[in-house]
Amino acid sequence: MIALPAPNPATLARRDALVAGLRKILPAADGVIADPVRLKPYETDGLTAYRQMPLAVVLPETTEQVAAILAFCQAQNVRVIPRGAGTSLAGGALPLADAVVIGMMRMNRILQIDYADRYAVVQAGVTNLGITRAVEADGFFYAPDPSSQLACMIGGNIGMNSGGAHCLKYGVTANNVLGVKLVTITGDIIELGGTHLDAAGYDWLGIIIGSEGQLGIVTEITVRILRAAEGTRAMLAAFSSNAIAGACVDAIIGSGIIPVALEFMDRPAIHACEAFAHAGYPLDAEAMLIIEVEGSADEQTAMLERIKEICSAFAPTSLKISQNDAESAAIWKGRKGAFGAIGRISPDYLCMDGTIPTSTLPQVLARIEALSAEYGLKVANIFHAGDGNLHPLIMFDANQAGQMQKAEAFGADILRLCVEVGGCLTGEHGVGVEKRDLMKVQFTEIELDLQRAVKSAFDPDWLLNTAKVFPLDRLPARASLPHAA
């Protein structure tokens, strides 16, 4: 288990006064939650292995309220945890015992849509899919599409620089955000970027996006919206082994074709998702690829023909092209619900998130299989194969003593393997608490020190989402985080 720092006793002792102070900022009856029963559901996010009750939860409705809360917390030297929909698989929204959780879900309005210049201004608590829903009738969409896009909020996407199935073609969050309104720990409201790509000076957005809520709290975001393609079509290609499917992915990418999405699922994943989505997945296959192309009908057909040809060289057990939008929707419903669907075959899972060069895919998959046998824990493999972003799901039973620890050790081995073959620790879920202590596998101490210095520049007392991302040793003196025993 990854250790959390001991809480600051001075903060805990002032709990009632702090809550009273927060209530002055948010007078609405339910704007501040301090009752332990009500706080309980906030103790965890999508990574339920880690749980910690916060001091209080606040639910602001305006940027000004967020600013007032942050100014108050800094004045009182109280730690702060930003939270969106609480879907993080890396424990990004895990509270600390002496921290105030700032829940952004009430800031869920779309403020402006500009089709002429193709951008939308939204509050941080708007869901990822909510943006596309708001513009799709007019033929537009917001490109990054993490699997949890139905529920996850755009503020959290900024924190983790989220990706998704369609990032192969359209890039990740960082490539699709034009500007943000950021509240600093001092309670100042600043604007970074604007309504077009490439702002003057340093790439401030590049620093903020993916900073896991450690530099400030983003309350408003200007996102790029794109004109939707004329049409899309998905194809299912089934294979007789993980390695063969992996080799096929490499061949497709190597051929120079860039499908909009190229997704991989192995046997356990296929079965769990089919039970949920009834999408007609090939239940006899060992591995399956979802390949999506877009464009005019002719373009789609031409691309699919070429992809089919490549697949044929790998003796596919079946190839199926969706015949209509409803079929495509079902195919994606299965893929997007994949993590949750694993709940049908296992009570608990750890979802890993590493990135590897696509050419190493067959080798990495074989190694994961071997590790699975070694640890005696099953794995379902689901991932964005096109850009080498792996999501092996390690299945375990948290009610059995010791299994959680075993699963964590297995996961760490997989991530080390990713770094070993030339990839990295995180694709799109962020570091959070989950991969915090593995950062040293990826970075040298000098690199980490520089990164810590950036955090200190924004947040000298390390109050914002502390105890994540950076290993707890070598923190700057002012961070005053007592080491965990």
Partner 1 sequence: MQTNFTEVQLRDPAIQVADSILRSCVHCGFCTATCPSFITVGDEDDSPRGRIYLIKEMLESGSAASAPVAFHLDRCLSCLSCMTTCPSGVDYMHLIDHARTHVEQTFRRPWHDRGLRAVLAAILPYPARMRWALRAAGLARPFVGLIPQRGVLFARMRAMLALAASERVVAQGVGDVTAQTVHPAQGTRRGRVLLLAGCAQRVLDPGIHAATIRLLNRMGVEVVIPQAAGCCGALTHHMGKHAAFVAQAGATIRAMTDALDEETDAIIINVSGCGTVVKDYGFALRGEGPDLAGKAAKISALAMDVSAYLLKIGYQRTRPESGLTIAYHAACSLQHGQKITDAPKALLRQAGFRVVEPRDAHLCCGSAGTYNILQPEIASSLRARKLDTLTALSPDAIAAGNIGCLTQLAGAGIPTIHTVELLDWMAGGPCPAGLKS
42 is in the binding site of which of ligand SF4, partner 1, none (Cβ under 5 to 8 A by kind)?
partner 1
Question: Of 187, 340, 460, 471, which lies in the binding site for ligand SF4, with binding defined by CB under 6 A?
Answer: 340
Cα(80)–Cα(462) distance, rounded to whole angstroms? 9
Between 85 and 364, CB nearer to ligand SF4:
85
Question: Of 2, 18, 56, 59, which lies in the binding site for partner 1, with binding defined by CB under 8 A?
Answer: 59
Question: Of 186, 276, 413, 439, which lies in the binding site for partner 1, with binding defined by CB under 8 A?
Answer: 276
Question: Smallest distance from the beta carbon of 48 to ligand SF4, in angstroms?
Answer: 10
Between 14 and 391, CB nearer to ligand SF4:
391
Q: Kindly state whether residue 343 participates in binding ligand SF4, applying the rule CB under 6 A.
A: yes
**Residue with token string 């993916």:** 210
Tokens of 22: 């927060």
239 is in the binding site of which of partner 1, ligand SF4, none (Cβ under 5 to 8 A by kind)?
none
- Binding to ligand SF4 by CB under 6 A, coded x per residue (else -) over 382-421, reads ----------------------------------------
105 is in the binding site of which of ligand SF4, partner 1, none (Cβ under 5 to 8 A by kind)?
partner 1
Q: Which stretch binds partner 1 (CB under 8 A): 209-217, 268-276, 314-322, 356-364?
A: 268-276
86 is in the binding site of which of ligand SF4, partner 1, none (Cβ under 5 to 8 A by kind)?
partner 1
How far lies 386's CA from each of 111, 141, 262, 291, 315, in Å? 34, 21, 5, 9, 20
The footprint of partner 1 on residues 375-434 (CB under 8 A) is 398-399
How far lies 21's CA from each of 12, 26, 58, in Å? 14, 9, 11
Between 285 and 382, CB nearer to ligand SF4:
382
Sheet with 110-114: list strands edge to edge: 110-114, 119-123, 217-224, 177-183, 189-193
How far lies 389's CA from each of 167, 394, 468, in Å? 10, 16, 22
Question: Smallest distance from the beta carbon of 105 to partner 1, in angstroms?
Answer: 4
Question: Is the Cβ–Cβ distance between 259 and 307 less than 8 Å?
Answer: yes
Q: Which of 269, 261, 287, 290 is nearest to 366 (CA)?
A: 287
Computed on alpha carbons and rounded to an integer, the radius of gyration of the chain in Å comes to 23
Q: Which of 82, 105, 104, 106 is nearest to 94 (CA)?
A: 82
Cα(371)–Cα(26) distance, rounded to whole angstroms? 51
Q: Report strand pairing: 79-83 vs 99-103.
A: parallel
| Burial readout 362-393 (b: 16 or more C-beta within 10 A, e: otherwise) | bebbebbbebbeebebbbbbbbbbbbbbbbbb
Q: Kindly state whether residue 295 participates in binding ligand SF4, applying the rule CB under 6 A.
A: no
274 is in the binding site of which of partner 1, ligand SF4, none (Cβ under 5 to 8 A by kind)?
none
Question: Of 337, 354, 388, 430, which lies in the binding site for partner 1, with binding defined by CB under 8 A?
Answer: 337
Between 103 and 362, CB nearer to ligand SF4:
103
Binding-site ranges for ligand SF4 (CB under 6 A): 340, 343
